[in-house]
Amino acid sequence: MSSGVSHTRSYGCLELDAADRGGRSDRRNDVREVRMVRSRHMALGVLGPLLPKHITRPAQRRLLSILLLRGGSDLDRDLLIDCMWGDKPPRSARNALHVHISGLRRAIGDDVIATTTHGYRINPDGHGFDVSDLDRLAVAAHNGDDPSKQLRFTTDALELWRGDPYQELTEDAFALPEIVRLKERRLELVELHMQALLALGHNGEAIPQLRELVERFPLSERLHEGLMLALYRSGRQAEALRQFQSARRVLGEQVGIEPGPALKELEKRILFQDPDLGATEAQPTPHNLPTFATSFVGRDEEIASTVEAVSVNRLVSIVGGPGFGKTRLAIELGHASLQDHPGGVWFVALADARTVEDVTALIATATQDQQNVSGLTDLAKALAPRPALLILDNCEHVVGDCAAFARTTLAAGGDLRILVTSRRRLGIEGERVWQLDPLPVPAGSTSKTELSDAATNIAVQLFVDRAQAVDRTFALSTNSAPEIIELTNRLAGIPRAIELAARWVPALGITEIVSMLDPTHSAVTGPDGAQVAGSFREAIDWSLSLLPSEDRTLLEDTAVFNGWFGFSDVEAVCAGGRGRVQLAAAMVRIVDSSLLVAARRNDGSARYRMLVPMREFLIASRDSGWDGLQEVYVRHYLSKALTRQDDGFSGVADLALIEDDIDNLGASLDIGFDRGRADDVARALVPLNN
C-alpha cells in the first residue's frame, strides 16, 4: 500500500554498460541530450508543436497560441474574436470565446489566464514559456565575453527548438512578424554558437555542425565563414577554399549576388595561409579525476541535473548514506563537465583527513597550489578566483573544516565551484543540497509483466552488469529474476551493497547468495577474501561513530519501527525522557547524517524510514533493552488502532492514516499476538478489516 509519502528526491548514481558509456565526449553529449529532453517538457511552448500536448481541441490550441503571441499584454475581446475567426465569427462569438477560455483554464491552471477590464491576458513567464527562456538566454549569450559561457547559453537556447514556431498560426498575417523574429533569433544564436566553438578551439566538433547548418541556412555568410575557418584550422585548406566556391555559387544562384567583403577577405587569407588565422586547438581541461575499471550504470538525467546545479550554484553538496554512490556520481559529473571549468576539475579525497592541516594539505596538493599550503583560509582565498571545479569527497568527519573553507571561498567571490560529497550537509549559507537516495528497486513479483519491468530497473541492471563482469555466462532470466528482485530489495537498492553481492556469483550463484545474506552483510566481500573498499557493515559502523552517543541511542531505538513512521510515533515510543525540542533536534541531526530517509507527506508533515540493511544491522547489534522497547511499540500501535475504533472509523477519512501505519500496525499485531495479547489484537483488527 501507499505510505502517503511524496518522494521528490533523486536516485543515486548507477553504472551503465560499457557500450553505452563511450568516451567522455559521449558523456557530455548525453548530458546535453538530457537537457534538451527536459527542456521539451515546458509547461507552455510554441517553438515547435504547441505545448502542453494534452490540449487537443483545435479552437483551444489556436486561442492559446494567440494569447502566447501577445504574452503579457491585455487582449481586447473583440481583437481576440477577430484573431480567432477573422471575418467569419460564430453568432455568439463572445460566449464561444468565454467557453474556450474556461476550457483552457481547466487545462493549464486558473492563474495562467487573467481576466481584464476589456478582455484577457496570459502570464506565461512564470510557467516555463519557451520563448521567454529563449530570449533570456539570447541576451545572456550576447552580453557575455566568456566563450565557454556563451557556448553554454547558446546550447541551452538552441535545445529549446522543437520545430517551426507558432505552428497553429502559420497562415495568419498577424503572427508573421513574431514568427520571422524567432527564426532570425534562431539563426543569430546558431552563429553565436559557432563563434563560441571556434573561439574555444573546438574545430573538429564544429565542422559537422557547420555543414548541417550551412545546408539549412545557405544564405548565411557568417556560417560559411565559420565552416571555412574550422576546416582551415583543422589542416584542411583545400576544403576550406572549395567551401568558398560553394558559397559563391549558392549566393549567385539563389539571390544573384557575390559573396561579401568579409567572406572574400577570408578566402584570400586562407589562400595565402595568413598566420594570424591561427590553427587554434582546444586545450584539454586539466584534472586529476580518477577513472574506473567498471562501466557507469546510470541515468544521465541525474548527471545532467547535477551539472546544471553546479553551473548556477557555487556550492553544491551531494548528501546520502553509506554506499549510496556519492563519490562515483561526483567523479562522473566532473568528467561530464570538464569543458565548463577551464581552470581545472580537481578531486580531493578526504577519507583519511583528520585535522585542518590534513584538509589544507590535501586540497593544496590536488589543486597544485603549494604556495598557500600554510593555512586553509589563505588557500581558500587563493583558489576562489579560478574558473575551476573542486570536488571535496567524504567530508562527513571534517565537516567543520570543509564548511570553513567553503564559507571563505564563497565570501571571496570569484568563479570557483565546490562540489561536496558527504553523509552530512555543511550547513552554511549558499549551500545547495542534492539529496541522494538508494536506487529504486522492483516490486517483489514473479509475473511476466513484473519481470519485464525488472529488466529495465536500474538496481537490477547494476547487479547484472557487475555479475557479468565476473561471470560472463550470468544473465537475467525467468529463473534468476525472482532472486535478483529479492536481493535488490533485501539490499534496499544500495549500490555498494549490490556491487559487493554480485562478486559472489561465480562461487555461489544467485540463489545461495540470497539465502546467505545476513543482517550485517559482513560476508559480502570479494571471493578472494579481500575487502572491497570496506564492507557495508564497516560503512555503517563508520557513520554511527560520527553521531553523538545520545543520537546513536535514539537511532538504535527507531529500528523498532517497520516502514514509515512519524515524529509523534518517535515521541510515543523512543523519547526516553527527552523533551520535545531535544528530541526534534536529535532527529534533525540523524536525518542530516543520512541515517534515516525523510520525506514529506501531501499534508506537509514529515515521515521517516530506516533502510532495511541498516535496520537489520542495528537489531542484530543490540544487546539489551529490545524487549521493553518492543512492548512500548506494540502498546502504541495497538492504542492507535483501538482509538480509531472508539472514535468511529470513517473509512475514507481514516484511509490515509491506516496506509501510513500499515507496516507498523501489522508488525505490532504480530508481536502482540506472540506475547499473548490476542484479545487486544482482535479488537485492533476491527477497524483494519472495515
174 or 143, greater pLDDT:
174
- List b or e across 413-423, with b for residues whose CB sees 16 or more CB atoms inside 10 angstroms: ebebbbbbbbb
Mean pLDDT on 670-680:
74
Quote the number of domains for the chain. Answer: 2
Mean pLDDT on 126-139:
86
The reported pLDDT for the residue numbered 530 is 38
Cell of 416: 570557483
Residue 305 inside a domain? The answer is yes
Which residue shows C-alpha cell 551503465?
16
pLDDT band at 22, cuts 50/70/90?
Answer: very low
Residue 494 inside a domain? The answer is yes
The answer to whether residues 157 and 141 touch, using CB atoms and an 8 Å cutoff, is: yes
Separation between Cα atoms, residue 635 and residue 684, nearest integer Å? 11
Say whether both 428 and 497 belong to one domain.
no
606-609 and 119-122 beta bridge pairing:
unpaired
Separation between Cα atoms, residue 639 and residue 514, nearest integer Å? 37
To the nearest whole percent, how much of the chain has pLDDT over 90?
A: 33
345-349 and 315-319 beta bridge pairing:
unpaired
Say whether both 432 and 468 belong to one domain.
no
Which residue shows C-alpha cell 546467505?
516
Written as one letter, the residue type at 226 is G
Residue 572 inside a domain? The answer is no
113 or 540, greater pLDDT:
113
Span of 87-91, 217-221, 243-247, 611-615 with lowest mean pLDDT: 611-615
Residue 514 inside a domain? The answer is yes
The reported pLDDT for the residue numbered 62 is 94
Say whether both 421 and 335 belong to one domain.
yes
Cell of 291: 577513472
The reported pLDDT for the residue numbered 524 is 45
Say whether both 433 and 312 belong to one domain.
yes
Span of 310-314, 567-571, 641-645 with lowest mean pLDDT: 641-645
The reported pLDDT for the residue numbered 283 is 66
Cell of 456: 529495465
Mean pLDDT on 153-175:
92
Separation between Cα atoms, residue 431 and residue 532, nearest integer Å? 32
Helix (H, G, I), strand (E, B) or coil at 601: strand
Residue 610 inside a domain? The answer is no
Beta-bridge mates of residue 316:
419, 432
The reported pLDDT for the residue numbered 319 is 92
Written as one letter, the residue type at 653 is A
The reported pLDDT for the residue numbered 164 is 94
Q: What are phi and psi of 304, to 5 degrees?
A: -60, -40
pLDDT above 80 (res 443): no
Beta-sheet strand order (sheet of 389-393): 10-11, 431-437, 315-319, 417-422, 389-393, 345-349
pLDDT, averaged across the chain = 81
pLDDT above 50 (res 12): no
52 DSSP 8-state letter = S
Mean pLDDT on 460-478:
87
- CA dihedral over 465, 470, 473, 479, signed as positive or negative: negative
Say whether both 364 and 393 belong to one domain.
yes
The answer to whether residues 271 and 263 touch, using CB atoms and an 8 Å cutoff, is: no
Beta-bridge mates of residue 566:
607
pLDDT above 90 (res 81): yes
Say whether both 388 and 458 belong to one domain.
no
Mean pLDDT on 612-629:
84
Span of 27-41, 631-645, 664-678 with lowest mean pLDDT: 27-41
Separation between Cα atoms, residue 66 and residue 487, nearest integer Å? 55
pLDDT band at 298, cuts 50/70/90?
Answer: low
Say whether both 534 and 420 belong to one domain.
no
Mean pLDDT on 278-285:
64
- List b or e across 188-221, with b for residues whose CB sees 16 or more CB atoms inside 10 angstroms: bbbbbbbbbbbebbbbebbbebbeebbeebbebb
Say whether both 420 and 311 belong to one domain.
yes
Residue 205 inside a domain? The answer is no
Say whether both 477 and 500 belong to one domain.
yes
Q: What CATH number has the domain bearing residue 352?
A: 3.40.50.300
Q: What is the DSSP string of 410-448?
A: HHH-SS-EEEEEESS----TTEEEEEEEPPP---S--SH
Residue 534 inside a domain? The answer is yes
Span of 23-32, 45-54, 635-644 with lowest mean pLDDT: 23-32
pLDDT above 90 (res 182): yes
Separation between Cα atoms, residue 78 and residue 95, nearest integer Å? 12
Residue 682 inside a domain? The answer is no
Written as one letter, the residue type at 548 is P
Mean pLDDT on 211-225:
90
The highest-confidence range among 107-116, 458-467, 470-479, 509-518, by mean pLDDT, is 458-467
pLDDT in tens, 407-436: 999 999 888 999 999 998 999 999 999 888
pLDDT in tens, 519-571: 444 444 444 443 433 456 666 777 787 788 889 999 999 999 998 899 999 99
User: In angstroms, what CA-CA distances link 290 with 31, 145, 322, 333, 359?
Assistant: 20, 32, 20, 12, 19
pLDDT band at 21, cuts 50/70/90?
Answer: very low
Say whether both 475 and 411 belong to one domain.
no
Separation between Cα atoms, residue 231 and residue 237, nearest integer Å? 7
Taking alpha carbons only, the member of 331, 289, 337, 292 closest to residue 310 is 337
The answer to whether residues 400 and 426 touch, using CB atoms and an 8 Å cutoff, is: no
Span of 16-25, 66-75, 481-490, 633-642 with lowest mean pLDDT: 16-25
Q: What is the DSSP string of 285-348?
A: PPB-----SS-----HHHHHHHHHHHHH-SEEEEE--TTS-HHHHHHHHHHHTGGG-TT-EEEE
282 or 111, greater pLDDT:
111
Say whether both 433 and 452 belong to one domain.
no
How far is residue 5 CA from its own chain's centroid?
20
Written as one letter, the residue type at 94 is R
The reported pLDDT for the residue numbered 281 is 56
3 state SS for 131-194? HHHHHHHHHHHHHCCCHHHHHHHHHHHHCCCCCCECHHHCCCHHHHHHHHHHHHHHHHHHHHHH
Say whether both 457 and 428 belong to one domain.
no
pLDDT band at 445, cuts 50/70/90?
Answer: low
Taking alpha carbons only, the member of 395, 237, 252, 410 closest to residue 327 is 395
Helix (H, G, I), strand (E, B) or coil at 115: strand
Residue-range definition of the domain harbouring residue 526: 448-538
To the nearest whole percent, how much of the chain has pLDDT over 70?
A: 82
pLDDT above 70 (res 9): no
pLDDT above 80 (res 243): yes
For residue 216, give every residue at least 6 positions away whose Cβ sits within 8 Å of its Cβ, in sequence order, or none: none
pLDDT above 80 (res 402): yes
Beta-bridge mates of residue 7:
none
Cell of 609: 524510514
Separation between Cα atoms, residue 524 and residue 497, nearest integer Å? 8
Which residue shows C-alpha cell 525540542?
581
Cell of 196: 563560441
305 or 464, greater pLDDT:
464
pLDDT band at 65, cuts 50/70/90?
Answer: very high
Domain end (from 405, 437, 469)? 437
Domain end (from 484, 518, 538)? 538
Separation between Cα atoms, residue 201 and residue 316, nearest integer Å? 29
The reported pLDDT for the residue numbered 163 is 92
Separation between Cα atoms, residue 262 and residue 277, nearest integer Å? 14
Domain end (from 538, 566, 596)? 538
443 or 493, greater pLDDT:
493
